[in-house]
Every structure is written in C-alpha cells, then in structure tokens.
Structure 1
Amino acid sequence: MRILPMVLAVALFMEHVDSNVISTSLPAIAADLNTSPIALKLAMTSYLVALSVFIPISGWISDRFTARIIFRVAIVVFLAGSVCCAFSFSLHSFVLSRFLQGIGGAMMTPVGRLLLVKSTPKNQLVIAFQWFSIPALVGPLVGPPLGGFITTFFSWHWIFLINIPIGFIGLLLSSIYLPKNEKKYIRPLDWTGFFLSAISLSGFIFGLSIVSLPALPQSVGISVTILGVIFGAIYIKHAKNRTAPLLDLKLFSDPVFARAIIGGSVFRLGIGAVPFLLPMMLQLAFGLSPIESGLMVLAAAIGSLGMKFGAKEVYARFGFRKVLMAGSLVSAMFTASNGLFYPTTPYLLMIIVLLFGGFLRSLFFSGVNALAFSDIAKEDISQATPIAAVAQQASMALGIAIAGAVLEIASSFHDNILKLGDFHTGFFVVGFISALAFFIFRTLPRDAGHALNEKSKQSTAQHR
C-alpha cells in the first residue's frame, strides 16, 4: 500500500525541491546570463504561469490518455525542461526552459494525486497522503539551503542536472508500480473554460508574484491580479451554464469537499509564507549565512517526516473534525511563535519549536488532503484533483504576497529598512490568518471522513 505513494513522491520531491532551490542561486545565474537578479525573478514566474495554465486541464488529459501515461510523460517533460535550464544561454532561453518545466510540473502533482486516490482504498487514504504530502512539506524548506550549497561549492547548472537521475528513478518505478488497468474516459474539452481558467489563474498567481517579488511596479501586479479575479468570476458564470465544464464547481455542493478545500487553503495562506519569512529573518535580522539558516529551518522538514507514522490512528481516535480544528489552531500558534525568536534565543529552543511545527503541519495536511476526497465519487476524482491543486497553488502564492505586503508596510514606518520587528509582525499576521481555518473546520459534519476510518474488507480486497 505504501509503494504507490512513495513512487509518486519521488517525482514530486524532484518538482517541489526544484521549484524552491532556485531562489538562493539567482545572483549566480543572473551573472552567468548577463542579466540582473530582479529580471531573473520574472523568469521564475514563468514556471508559475505554466502551472496555472495546465493544472486545470490535467484531469481531462488523464481521462483521455490514462493517468499512468500522463504521469510518466510529465516526468519526461520536466526533465527536458531541466536540461534546457542547465544549458540556457540568455534570459529568454531560461524563461522558456522554466515554462517547459512548469508544463511537466503542472501534470505531475494533480495526476499523481489522481492516481493515489483512484488506487487507494478510502480507509487507507490518510496513510497514503501522509507519504504523498512529504515532498510538498519538505521541498520548500530544503530547497533554498540545497541551492545555496550547490551554487557555493559546485555550479548553479547542477541545480537542474541533479534532476536527471532522480527523474529516471521516478520514471522507472512508475513504469513498474503504477496501475496498468485504467480505463479511458473520453469527454469533450471545454475550450472556453480552458482559456478563461488559464487567463484567470495565470493572472492571479502572476500578479501576486509581482506584488511579493517587486521586479515590476506593484501597480502592474495589482492590475494583473484584479484581471485574474475578473476572469475567474466570468469562468464561474460559464461553469454554471455548462454540462461538462473544465473544472466542475458543482463539487463544492459537497459540504466536506468544500470545507476541506477552503479550510485547507486558508490554513496554507499562513503556512505558505513561512519558507519566505523564516530564512529571510534568520539571514537579514540574525546575521546567519544561507547555509546556517537552511540548516535551522531543516528542523521543520524533519518534523514533517516524523509524523509519517500514527496519523491514521489519531484521526480514527478523535475524528477529522476535532483533529483539524485543534490542528489548525495549535499549528497556527507555532507559526506565530516564530515571531518570538530573537538573536539571543537559544538555537536549541528554536529548533524544537520548528520541529513540532513541522510535525503538526504534516499531521494536518495528511488529514485535510484525504478528507477532500472522502465523499467524492470515483467518476468525479479527475475533476476534484485539479481543483485541489489549483486551490493549493493560489493559496500559497497569496500567502507569500500577504507576507511580502506586511513586510513592506511595516518597513515603510522606518525608511523601508527591514528590521527584526517587521518579521515578527509578519509571523503574527500569517499565524492569525492560519488560525481562521479553525472556524471553517468547526462547521464540518461531526461524522466527516467516516469512510476514511472504516475497515472495509471489500475495498482492501479490491486494492489487492
């Protein structure tokens, strides 16, 4: 049962680390490509734009050609983009290479989730998602220090070339272990919905990226974000009047799915800002080197790994409603507690706080990810998985934008120079936002997720 999520996790770990590893290597890449780090940050957003455009269509493509085939094709496309990035000779070639990588990444996560949900009995989903969610939790934390290490002691080109052996391992294992008995489901493609969703999501996420990483005037970022919201509203109206929309928003009529997606997104608004705020605070306010700060935040990644055992028993004992309510609140408190760190705070104490924070986040996400699919019919899974992936990308981008806006506003009171108190304010704000998920999970039915805790002999037999 654990083989499938671990096979999928190999490819997803490659994707999540790669998308975060580049941040500390921007100056070196920019110098090599004869451009500025600020201009190169725009190239990073090309990856996010590719995700925004192609994630919504991943469900349709998986139905048309089978998820097994598309997942392996996605790995090949991602590896091709990685090689192109390593051999880029200009800003334009790097932008196009990152976009190609993003196309592969846009397929890997939602299609991997689709394979996991379809192939795993519901009473085993919590454990499966515990393993499946590890790359998303660990990648943003280990990516920056890994990028700093590779760039310092080797060359930035290896940031992308190390994907090759990892990708081939994922390709080999997925060819062996992914289910081979999938049925194709051919349905008409909602072209109007595809273009509307592409403009909406790419505008929203690209705009937020400009706001949080001001490589362009923030007025541009705000305008593009508003444009994305407008087209999102147009898509919602379009989807209501179509029998087979690209993203079927009727799934939100299921109260458990709706609260899992919305509550998880609100929680991610705060959690997504931690990999942005913490390394910056440790380097700018504490004076630590990139490698030292990377080793510090690695504690949170270790905590995430530590919760791979026991999550199913916790949810079975206390129920999804109670655990998600308590988990969102306590985890938000640990996020806010980073705002109590000072240069004089013992490193051991900070490591313990980060360790337990990662532990709780891992418990939370393994439950909320599984809960979203607890009442979803098998024929609707290919619609639900891209919706979950879109919500995750949008909430993470919005969380970083909020954190960046808080830092900018706070620093504006003292000559736009970032001080320790500004980071503290940022952690308090994003921690408060994460805590708001408590009120969403409080409205869950008391028996929410009961199918995930049932000991179904029939489902186990089918799985075998």
Structure 2
Amino acid sequence: MATTTVSAAPGDTIKRLLPWLVAVAFFMQSLDTTILNTAVPAIAEAMTVTPLDMKSVLASYTLSLAVFIPISGWMADRFGTRAVFASAIGLFTLGSLLCGLSMNITMLVACRVLQGMGGAMMVPVGRMTMVRTFPKSELIRAMSFVSIPSLIGPMLGPILGGLIVHYLHWSIVFFVNIPVGLAGLILVYRFLPDYREDNTHALDIVGLILFGSGVALLSYVLEVFGQHTLGDVETVGLLALSALLLTGYGIKAAQTPFPLLQLGLFRLRTFRASVAGSFFSRLGLGGIPFLFPLLYQVGLGYSPIQSGLLVMPQAMAAMGLKVIVPKILGVLGYRNVLVGNTIILGVLIMLFATIDVGTPAWRIALQAFILGFFTSTQYTSMNTLVYADVSAQQTSAASTIASTVQQMSISFGVASASLIAAMFVPETLRSTPSAMIHGVHQAFIILGLMTMASSIVFMELRQNDGGSISGKKLV
C-alpha cells in the first residue's frame, strides 16, 4: 500500500509542534482518569453507591478503549490521521459533557463508554503519527517529550479533583475536558500531518465482533465476580463463552488476509516481549490509581484535596525524570532495564501495604515519588520497544495491537484490584476505615507480586534488542 502524506505545515514546524499536539490528546485522557480517581468517593456518595461499586465507571471506559482501539489503525489508513484524530477528540469531548450531566451510575457508565470510543482513536493514532514523522533514532526522545506535557494531567488531576469535589460539584471533573478538547481541535487542523493509505483493505467486521464481545464478556465477569450476583455455573459458562469467542477470533485471524489485529507481528521477538510484558505488568500497575483514593480517603480519613496532594509526587517524578530515560536505555539496554525495573516496581507496590493510620504524610509522598520514577521508566521502555523491528508499513497495525493490549490490561487491572479488595472486605464493612485499609493492603501485595512475575516475559529479550532505538550496541 502506498502512503500519502498531506502536511498541514512545513516539515520543521511539524517536528516542533507535533509532540505538543499529540500531548493535548494524552493530556485529556490522563487528566480525565486521574481527576476521576480522586473524585470516586464523592461521586459514589452522590449516587448512593459504595466506592468499590465505582469500578464499573472506571472499567467501562478502559474496556471501551480496548474494544474500539482495534479499528483505529484501519480508520486512520482509510480516512487519514487528521480526520480520525479530530473526530476522536470531538467524540471524547462530547462524552465528557454527557458524563457531567449523568443522573445515576447506569447513565454515567453508558456515557463513559461513549467517551471511551473517542479516546480509543486518540492515543494509537497519535503514536502512529509520531512514528511516521520521526526516524527511529529520534523516537525515544520524541516520545519522552510527548510524555512530559501529557504527565501534567496526572500531576494536576488529583489536586484538581480534590478541589472540585470539595468546593464545587463532582460533574465539573468532566466539564474541564471541554475547553481542552476545543483547543485540540483547532491545533489538529492547523498542524497535524495527514497520513493515509491510497488503497485500504476491507474492515474485518466478523473479527471485530468476535474480539470485542469476547473481551467485553471477560471484563464483565471480572467486574461482577466479587459481587456474587452470578452463580458458579453462570460464571463458568460466561468465562467459557468468552474463551470460545476469543479462540474463534484467533482462528479467524489466521485465515484472514487482513485481520482486525495482525497477530503475525508477534513473531517479532521485541514486539512480542514488549506487548506481552506490557499486558502483565500493567495488570498490577493499572489498579494502583483506583486503590490510592480508597486508602487515603476511606481508610486514612484524608480529604479529597489531601488525597490529591499525596498522589501528585508520583506524577511530578514521572514528568521531571522523563528526560533521563533515553540515557538509561542507551547505557543499560532494554533487556536489563525492563527485567530489573519490573522487579523494583513490584517491591514498591507492596511497600504501600505498610501505610497505615499514623504513617507520616512525608513518607507516603516519598514512596509515591519513587514509584513515579520507576513507572515512567517502565512505560517509556515498553511503549518504544514495540516499534524496534516494525517496518513503516506495519506501524499502524503495531500501534493498534499495543494500544489495545494496554487498555485491556488497565481495565482488567482495575477489576482485579477491586475484586481483591472486595474479597477481604465484607460488604457490610465497606465504609469502615479499618476494613478498607486491610482490603487495600492485600490488594497491594497481590498486585505487587503480579508485577514482579511479569519480569519473566522480558527475559526473552537479548542484550542488543532495541538497539536501533536506544543506541545500545552489543559488546
């Protein structure tokens, strides 16, 4: 397929402004997630549900991303990156408006799904545009630069969410996306290059139905498992049906010339290790933002503003130390960084199980800061290794798979964190601080062990893998 590029600005201007433009989309998503996490207890109270029940609001969004991301690469190739990126920002902004107008949790979940449909196109299409614009030798630095402004969202989100729910109405946490979205639309049409393929294949509709329904069903079972709303027979039956649908997709993909997800990319060792490792490590990391507000607000009695301040150091470390990650990768290489960093992350997550009533705030903030640095290193390494051995023609397919797996793991991570906490907290005690602290502590320990175990996946890498990106040479 031949690629057509329509530039919205001169080449040098694009390279200067594109990272900031893509960061607007990343900023919207990261701000939305972090600001909502802090507001979970307040929204739960307003809608007369328990904080643990709010996992459906968080999981529905990430699940929507996982279901709709697979078509993002095809849509960008077919309709152009500029039109798809602009439509994604518009849909995300509309979904945010409707979320803020929701009257109950069912309506809020439905609007989060709509919001997720827009978000599904933003990150993968943004990454694809970056990969096609910058050579591999500049990719780590460009991606790291993109992540710096996008990390402003996690830094501002917790404290902004605390201020909003304390002084204003919880709906404002969604309305703040509207001016950012409108600004993003203007920038897209002025500066985003328009990459598209001259000839595109037909969309794999059957594959989309099989994969999307299989993933959605699996996520639903994980979400309701701890609520005991399904009997053992129903649970096993739904899990079997989900496995059957996903297996059916795998068989269908092997027989289709242009499948929804090009699973043949998993033959590449660097791609396979980065995507599989990302899935398992994010299962642990994905549930952490959901647990922090439960521990700080419900368990320890901090106000939403104080809870937000305790989370801020994590984002500050990730933003401030992002610029040194390329140097670390250049010296140590991807294999050493990912294996060692994943083990360290698991230990750091488990250390949060030692935080209890009487733990000084400075220690909580310090732990969050250290966690932020190693989390940033992990994400940058995994996100860039995906493209180490991928050709220019495979970038959209690679970005689609990587983004899909990432969002699936985050959705499952939130569901797993909530499930583990619920297993250790009786339903009648879910508003009791001591019971919540105990349940969250158990979740931290299990999620930390899961994260450490994921380091096994990265051991498949060789010492010089990813050298075309990191500059690390085999000696």
TM class by shorter chain equals: 0.7 to 0.9
Check if 1:275 corresponds to 2:289: yes
- Given the alignment of the two structures, is residue 263 of structure 1 paired with residue 277 of structure 2, yes or no? yes
Is the Cα contact below 8 Å between 1:134 and 1:362 reproduced in 2? no
Equivalent residue letter for 1:440: V
**Displacement, 1:399?**
2.0
Tell me the TM-score normalised to structure 2 length: 0.86
Instruction: Tell me, in whole angstroms, the C-alpha distance in 1 between the residues paired with 2:36 and 2:235.
Output: 22
TM-superposition CA deviations, 1:97-139 (whole Å, max 9, x none): 3332221111112111211222221112222222444588675
Aligned counterpart, 2:111: 97
Taking the aligned partners of 1:301 and 1:217, their CA distance within structure 2 comes to 38
Deviations 1:18-61 (A, max 9, x none): 245345546766787x7756887656555345323311111111
Matches within 5 A, 1:90-239: 94-133=108-147, 143=157, 145-180=159-194, 182-211=196-225, 214=227, 217=230, 224-239=238-253
AA in 2 matched with 1:453: S
Match of 1:11 among 9, 25, 28: 25
How far is the alpha carbon of 1:386 from its aligned partner? 1.5
Distance 1:434 1:414 in 2: 30
How far apart are 1:332 and its partner, in Å?
Answer: 1.9
Work out which of the residue numbers 442, 448, 452 in structure 2 matches 1:425: 442
1:30–1:261: structure 2 CA closer, same or farther, 3 Å change rule? closer
Cα distance in 1 for partners of 2:149, 2:216 equals 23
What amino acid maps onto 1:449 in structure 2? G
Match of 2:7 in 1: none
Match of 2:315 in 1: 301
Q: Which one is further off, 38-47 or 190-199?
A: 38-47
Q: CA deviation at 1:342?
A: 2.8
**Displacement of 1:270:** 1.2
Q: In the TM superposition, what are the counterparts of 1:450-461 in structure 2 within 5 Å?
A: 450-454=467-471
What is the correspondence of 1:271-350 to structure 2 with a 5 Å cutoff? 271-350=285-364
Q: Does 1:396 pair with 2:410?
A: yes
Once the two structures are TM-superposed, the CA of residue 5 in structure 1 deviates from its matched residue by 2.5
Task: Give the conservation status (yes or no) of the 8 Å contact 1:205–1:397.
Answer: yes
Q: Is the 8 A contact 1:42 1:215 kept in 2?
A: no
CA distance in 1, matches of 2:436, 2:109: 33
Q: CA deviation at 1:454?
A: 4.3
CA distance in 1, matches of 2:280, 2:214: 20
| Aligned counterpart for 1:436 among listed residues 453, 457, 461 | 453
Counterpart of 1:256 in structure 2: which amino acid?
T
Query: Given the alignment of the two structures, is residue 71 of structure 1 paired with residue 88 of structure 2, yes or no?
Result: no
Query: Does the CA-based 8 Å contact 2:88-2:118 persist in structure 1?
Result: yes
Identity %: 32
Q: Distance in 2 between matches of 1:142 and 1:358?
A: 14
Q: Alpha carbon RMSD of aligned pairs, Å?
A: 3.0
Tell me, yes or no, if the aligned pair for 1:117 and 1:125 is still in contact at 8 Å.
Answer: yes
What's the offset of the Cα at 1:183?
Answer: 4.0
> Cα–Cα, structure 1 residues 404 and 199, in superposed 2: closer, same or farther, change >3 Å?
same
Post-superposition shift, 1:64? Answer: 0.4
Letter in 2 for 1:157: S
Write the distance in 2 (CA, Å) between the matches of 1:285 and 1:46.
25
Q: Which amino acid in structure 2 is aligned with residue 353 of structure 1?
A: Q
Could you tell me which amino acid in structure 2 is paired with residue 368 of structure 1? M
Report what 2:465 is aligned to: 448
Three-state SS of the structure 2 residue aligned to 1:155 is coil
Match of 1:242 in 2: 256
**Structure 1 residues 236, 361: CA separation in 2 closer, same or farther (over 3 Å shift)?**
same
Q: Which runs of 5+ in 2 are unaligned?
A: 1-14
1:30-41 pair list within 5 angstroms: none
8 Å contact 1:13–1:136 — kept in the other structure?
yes
Aligned twin of 1:460: none
Unaligned runs of 5+ residues in structure 1 are: 456-464
- Cα 1:95–1:268 change in 2 (3 A) is closer
Tell me the amino acid that sits aligned with residue 342 of structure 1: D
For the residue of structure 2 that corresponds to 1:53, the secondary structure is: helix
State whether residues 45 and 206 of structure 1, in contact with CA within 8 Å, keep that contact through their aligned partners in structure 2: no
Matched residues in 2 for 1:225 and 1:393: separation?
20
Q: 301-310 or 250-259, which moves further after superposition?
A: 301-310
Query: Any conservation in 1 of the 2:27–2:151 contact (CA below 8 Å)?
Result: no
Letter in 1 for 2:83: I
2:387 aligned with 1:373:
yes
Which sits farther off after the overlay, 181-190 or 160-169? 181-190
User: How far apart are the structure 1 equivalents of 2:471 and 2:246?
Assistant: 38
Contact 1:133–1:365 (Cα < 8 Å) also in 2:
no
User: Are the counterparts in 2 of residues 268 and 396 from structure 1 also a CA contact under 8 Å?
Assistant: yes
1: distance between equivalents of 2:270 and 2:182?
38
Query: Is residue 131–residue 139 contact of structure 2 (8 Å, CA) maintained in 1?
Result: yes
Which SS does the other structure have where 1:276 is aligned? Answer: helix
Q: Deviations over 1:219-242 (max 9, x none)?
A: 677765553333111111111111
**Aligned-pair CA distance for 1:176:** 2.5
Structure 2 CA distance for aligned equivalents of residues 129 and 63 of structure 1: 21
Change (3 A) 1:245 1:218: same
Assess, with a 3 A threshold, how the Cα gap between structure 1 residues 323 and 198 changes in structure 2: closer, same or farther: same
Q: 2:141 and 2:223 mapped to 1: Cα distance?
A: 33
